């Protein structure tokens, strides 16, 4: 009796399961009919939750502003533009599914990437297989693996991103007289940190700096005092840090407490470009030389940037993103500007034509003029090295004004002079 009951129950459950799988199969075969005219759909995955959601949401806001701007002027090729996007949760595993849904089910006309290498790379096989043009937002050396001719990276680091990231920092060191002799390298043991450190090692060699400390710390580190003390024990002239936002704060605080004062400090500290850390650290930032991609200095007033930032800042608070928006948003906007301009110029949605156009022309964007190198990265690096100066308190307003993040390098965009050594800036 029991066995019969069990088999009946089992069959019912089995029936449910088979029905579910069958339903999945049926849905797979049926595909909704494609729409001939109507809006041009641009599809992408974006990190709206998870680890990099702070940047992802800011990028999305910028892209939405772009779509509104374009539609106000009549759209692309006379058709309205529509953004179709899904949350990739900052997880690489969701990306293949999202992009196949966008292409096969939603039938988008164009695709762009999400934010960051982790979320760009998994989409590459799909775009390569279907021969699409693909613009990547802030991916580090993604195309090194694929060598795809129609990948274009919106990443201000130049043709060799790993070394370009820290090249400016070491160039500044090399220009000082007397030249510093030793450098301590420290970074987070994660993708960005390791890449930046690898580049830094090469740059150190190029400028003849001896590496006296070279270690990575796990991202879960709570306290940086032992690390900073170990660095101090080696008495370096220059300290290069490749850290993620929480570690940047931790390192800076620990350095402040321990009294670490090399001649040059900073380099690759992510997070110091954001309002939340700027206001938290305030005067502790004084004298730090760090990377930026855009700052409100007079040498960087590209056409349209101030207008864009104003509109972004109006909506930033409601969207829960960085209130200033200097770091990623201009590039997300420029990302779609490049795509949109290519569509207009070639008067088509043909992926090959668009790809060729992007590759062979210079583009005017709110983030300045962009030209791509043959490997899909930028022809010329535009990693800025800025020094925090005149930081009096923890207010946000000063970071929105010129004179507080002074561009030291490259010379093309220089807006002030370096206060050297670091101790002098600290007064």
Partner 1 sequence: MFSFDLLLDAIVAGILVGGFYAAVSLGITLAFGLLNVVNIAHPAFVILGSYAAFVVNSGFGLDPILAGLLFMPVFFLLGIGVYRIYYASFEKRGEESLRGLVFFFGIIFIIEVSLSLQYGVDYRSVHAAYIGDSLRLGPIDLAFRLAIPCAMALVLTLALHLFLSRTFYGRAVKAVSQDHLALRLMGADPVRIKGLAFGIAIATASLAGALLIMIGPVEPSIGREYIGRVFAIAVLGGMGSIGGTLVAALILGVLESLTSTFYGPSWAPAVSFGILLLVLAVRPSGLFGRAG
Partner 2 sequence: MRGRALLAVAVALVVLAVALTRLSANQYYYFAAYVIFQYVVLATAWNILGGYTGYVNFGSAGFFALGAYTAAILIKAFQVPFPVLLLAASTVGGLLGLSLGYLTLRLRGVFFSIATLALAVVLQTLIVNWEYAGGSRGIYTMRPAEVLFFGNYVEFLFVVMLILALGALATARWIEHSWLGRGLAAIRDNEEAAECMGVPTLRLKLVAATVSGALMGIAGAPFPYYVTYMEPASTFNLDYAVNSLAMPMIGGATTWVGPLLGAVLLGTAQQIATVTISSALNLLIVGVVLVAFVILAPDGIIGLVRRRRGGRHA
Among 222, 317, 318, 427, binds partner 1 (CB under 8 A): 222
Residues numbered 251 to 270 that lie near partner 1 (CB under 8 A) are 253-254, 256-259
DSSP letter (8 states) at residue 380: S
Partner interacting with residue 341 (select from partner 2, partner 1, none; CB below 5-8 Å by kind): none
Nearest-angstrom CA–CA distance, 382 and 291: 10
Pick the closer one to partner 2 by CB: 196 or 264. Answer: 196
Residues of span 55-114 touching partner 1 by CB under 8 A? none
Exposed (0-12), middle (13-18) or buried (19+): which is 105, by Cβ within 10 Å?
A: exposed
Distances (CA, A) of 155 to 160, 283, 408: 11, 29, 20
Residue 245 site contact among partner 2, partner 1, none (CB < 5 to 8 Å, cut-off depends on kind) = partner 1
- Tally Cβ neighbours within 10 Å of residue 226: 12
Binding residues for partner 2 restricted to 335-394, rule: CB under 8 A:
none
Q: Which does 54 bind (CB under 5 to 8 A by kind): partner 1, partner 2, none?
A: partner 1
Q: Which is nearer to partner 2, 140 or 367 (CB)?
A: 140
Residue 91 sits at φ, ψ, to 5 deg, of: -115, 125
Among 21, 31, 233, 379, binds partner 1 (CB under 8 A): 233
C-alpha to C-alpha distance for 100 and 127, rounded to whole angstroms: 10
54 near partner 1, rule: CB under 8 A: yes
Two tokens at 153?
Answer: 């990276």
Please count the other Cβ atoms lying within 10 Å of the Cβ belonging to residue 15.
10
Q: Which is nearer to partner 2, 75 or 246 (CB)?
A: 246
For the bound state, the minimum distance from the C-beta of residue 111 to partner 2, rounded and expressed in Å, comes to 14
Name the percent of the chain in helix, strand, coil, to the closest 5.
45, 20, 35
From partner 2, partner 1, none, interface partner of 65 (C-beta below 5 to 8 A by class): none
Here the tokens at position 362 are: 């210079």
C-alpha distance from residue 183 to each of 55, 180, 272, 335 (Å): 31, 8, 21, 36
Residues that bind partner 2 (CB under 8 A): 5, 7, 9-14, 16-18, 20-22, 24-25, 27-29, 31, 48-49, 51, 86-87, 89-98, 100-101, 103-105, 117-118, 121-122, 124-125, 145, 189-191, 193-195, 218
Residues that bind partner 1 (CB under 8 A): 49-51, 53-54, 189, 215-218, 220-223, 225-227, 229-230, 233-234, 245-246, 249-250, 253-254, 256-259, 271, 274, 276-277, 280, 284, 320, 394
């Amino acid at each position: 009796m029991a066995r019969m009951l069990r088999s009946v129950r089992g069959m019912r459950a089995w029936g449910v399961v088979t029905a579910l799988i069958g339903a999945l199969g049926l849905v797979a075969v049926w595909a909704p009919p494609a729409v001939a005219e109507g809006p041009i759909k641009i599809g992408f995955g974006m990190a709206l939750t998870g680890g990099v959601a702070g940047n992802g949401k800011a990028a999305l806001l910028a892209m939405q502003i772009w779509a509104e701007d374009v539609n106000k002027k009549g759209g692309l090729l006379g058709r309205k533009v529509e953004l179709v996007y899904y949350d990739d949760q900052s997880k690489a595993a969701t990306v293949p599914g999202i992009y196949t849904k966008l292409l096969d089910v939603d039938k988008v006309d164009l695709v762009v990437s999400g934010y960051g290498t982790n979320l760009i790379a998994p989409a590459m096989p799909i775009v390569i297989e279907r021969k699409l043009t693909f613009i990547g937002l802030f991916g580090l050396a993604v195309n090194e693996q694929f060598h795809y001719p129609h990948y274009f990276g919106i990443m201000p680091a130049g043709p060799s991103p790993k070394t370009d990231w820290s090249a400016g920092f070491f160039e500044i060191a090399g220009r000082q007289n007397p030249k510093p002799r030793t450098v301590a390298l420290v970074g987070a043991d994660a993708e960005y940190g390791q890449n930046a450190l690898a580049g830094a090692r090469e740059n150190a060699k190029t400028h003849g700096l001896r590496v006296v400390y070279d270690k990575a710390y796990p991202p879960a580190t709570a306290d940086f005092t032992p690390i900073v003390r170990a660095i101090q024990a080696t008495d370096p002239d220059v300290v290069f840090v490749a850290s993620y936002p929480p570690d940047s704060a931790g390192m800076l605080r620990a350095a402040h407490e321990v009294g670490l004062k090399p001649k040059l400090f900073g380099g690759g500290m992510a997070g110091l470009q954001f309002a939340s850390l700027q206001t938290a650290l305030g005067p502790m930032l004084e004298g730090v030389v760090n990377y930026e991609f855009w700052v409100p200095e007079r040498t960087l007033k590209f056409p349209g940037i101030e207008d864009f930032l104003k509109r972004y800042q109006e909506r930033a608070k409601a969207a829960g993103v960085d209130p200033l928006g200097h770091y990623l948003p201009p590039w997300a906007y420029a990302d779609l500007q490049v795509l949109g301009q290519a569509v207009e110029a070639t008067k088509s949605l043909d992926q090959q034509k668009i790809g060729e156009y992007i590759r062979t022309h210079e583009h005017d964007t709110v983030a300045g003029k962009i030209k791509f190198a043959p490997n899909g990265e930028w022809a010329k690096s535009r990693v800025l090295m800025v020094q925090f100066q005149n930081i009096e308190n923890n207010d946000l307003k000063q970071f929105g004004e010129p004179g507080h993040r002074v561009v030291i390098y490259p010379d093309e965009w220089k807006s002030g002079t370096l206060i050297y050594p670091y101790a002098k800036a600290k007064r």
